[in-house]
Amino acid sequence: MAYVAVSGGEEAIEASIRLLEYYRSGTDKDLDLEVIKEKMGLLVDRVMSEAGLYSKAYAALALKQCEGSSDEAVFLLRAYRSTLKRDYETLVADTEHMRIVRRISAAFKDIPGGQILGATYDYTHRLMNFALEKEDAQGLRDRMEQMIIEQTPVQPEPCTRVSEELKKEGLIDSYEENNGQPFDITQNLLEFPASRSARLQTLSRADTGFLSGLAYSVLRGFGQVHPTVGELRSGYVQLEVPYLEEEGESLWIGEIMLTEVEVFNEADDKEQLKLACGYGAVMGRNENKAIAMAVLDHELDTEGNYPAQNEEFVLLHGDSLEMNGFISHLKLPHYVTFQSKLDAVRKTRRKEHD
């Protein structure tokens, strides 16, 4: 009760926004959008994935606008998304024909199509590279482009998924292929028990940190055993929309980068020992999120009392916009409700003293 009812809100807000602009101005150097887009690629990917809007240019703009806060950037993109009309829905995207830039399996050494290590920080030593403090950006870019030119291009082959072989053997049968109309979580209230399409959409848009923490809890003991990454692949997926003039024809509208993961677990099938599969797919190069998603997808199929096995717990608390919105609302005035609480406490105490 230290301050009187907040008034003069309008001027205060304006001053606050000016101060934000001051913080954002930072230095006399401009933050080029191309630089954010091309040199902060993983941050851009994370923001696009949590926003559920694939646009590197807008993600970069959003990051510039909010001092690089990933949750603020997600917020900006989601709000912008609300204003856009949905004209088309793409056909089911085929990840088998993904133009793969990285593909690994922790389950099999030899997989049809082969493993491609691609670009990964996994095997780098995380030593601060002080040489980057003063880097010749132009020189670096030239060297890298020269390196690419010297390579001989290879025509990408479509790769069937590792799980395909196991499915043929009858070892995995958790889900039938389903290309029906998915539940749309952006236009409907999520209801429980949730359909698998609703579950996968929710997980795919969820906050990276939330999914990672939950999946970690599963691995540490608050869940089923240690899953095996059957396959992780990143690459470009082609998107098409139906061509309205001609039945059965479609139009290519572009490509997006996806990371797709399948994890294998032992399934508790009473009759026969089988494998179960968890699936993860996220926008961009966002590997830990995709793995965490796959772990949780499987965990939600498991009966039990751990947090990661509770559908409502997992699906309702991981949305960046929702969690950050509700947490930040605690900063709003609560004078009336607090007064009411105070009144209830005082009355009860009075009653007890009587």
Partner 1 sequence: MIDSYNYAFLDEGSKREIRRSILKAVAIPGYQVPFGSRELPIGRGWGTGGIQLTLSLIGPGDTLKVIDQGSDDSVNAVNIKKFVKMCTDVPCTIHTKDATIIQTRHRIPEVPMTNEQILVLQVPIPEPLRIVEPQEEVTKKMHAEMDYAPIWLQLYESLIKYGKITIGSEYPCMVEDRYIMNPSPIPKFDNPKLHNSQCLYLFGAGREKKIYAIPPHTKVVSLAFDDIPFEREDFAGKRCRLCGSTDTYLDEIFDSNTGERYYQCSDTSYCKEVRSR
Instruction: Among 91, 190, 239, 256, indicate the residue that binds partner 1 (CB under 8 A).
Output: 190
Cβ count within 10 A of residue 319: 22
339 touches partner 1 (CB under 8 A): yes
Instruction: Among 132, 148, 149, 332, indicate the residue that binds partner 1 (CB under 8 A).
Output: 332
Bridge partner residues of 276 (DSSP): 265
Instruction: Among 87, 192, 245, 272, indicate the residue that binds partner 1 (CB under 8 A).
Output: 192
Of 71 and 287, the one with the shorter C-beta distance to partner 1 is 71
Q: Which of residues 54-113 bind partner 1 (CB under 8 A)?
A: 75-76, 78-79, 81-85
13 touches partner 1 (CB under 8 A): yes
- Residue window 236-275: x/- pattern of binding to partner 1, with contact defined by CB under 8 A: ----------------------------------------
Is residue 249 within 8 A of residue 329, CB to CB? The reply is no
Q: What ranges in 186-263 are assigned the alpha helix state H?
A: 196-205, 208-220
Instruction: Among 24, 39, 168, 341, indicate the residue that binds partner 1 (CB under 8 A).
Output: 341
Residue 181 C-beta-side C-alpha neighbours within 13 Å: 2
Can you tell me the distance from the alpha carbon of 81 to that of 132, in angstroms, rounded to the nearest whole number?
A: 36
Q: Which of residues 169-188 bind partner 1 (CB under 8 A)?
A: 184, 186-188
The least distance separating partner 1 from the CB of residue 39, rounded to whole angstroms, comes to 28
19 touches partner 1 (CB under 8 A): no
3-state secondary structure at position 108: coil
Q: In whole angstroms, what separates CA 241 from the centre of its chain?
A: 24
Q: Which residues contact 320 (CB under 8 A, 6 or more apart)?
A: 50, 70, 71, 74, 75, 206, 207
Is residue 209 within 8 A of residue 217, CB to CB? The reply is no
Size of the site for partner 1 (CB under 8 A): 56
For the chain, give the longest Cα–Cα distance: 90
Chain positions contacting partner 1, by CB under 8 A: 1-2, 4-10, 12-13, 75-76, 78-79, 81-85, 184, 186-193, 312, 316, 321-322, 324-329, 332-337, 339-345, 347-348, 351-352
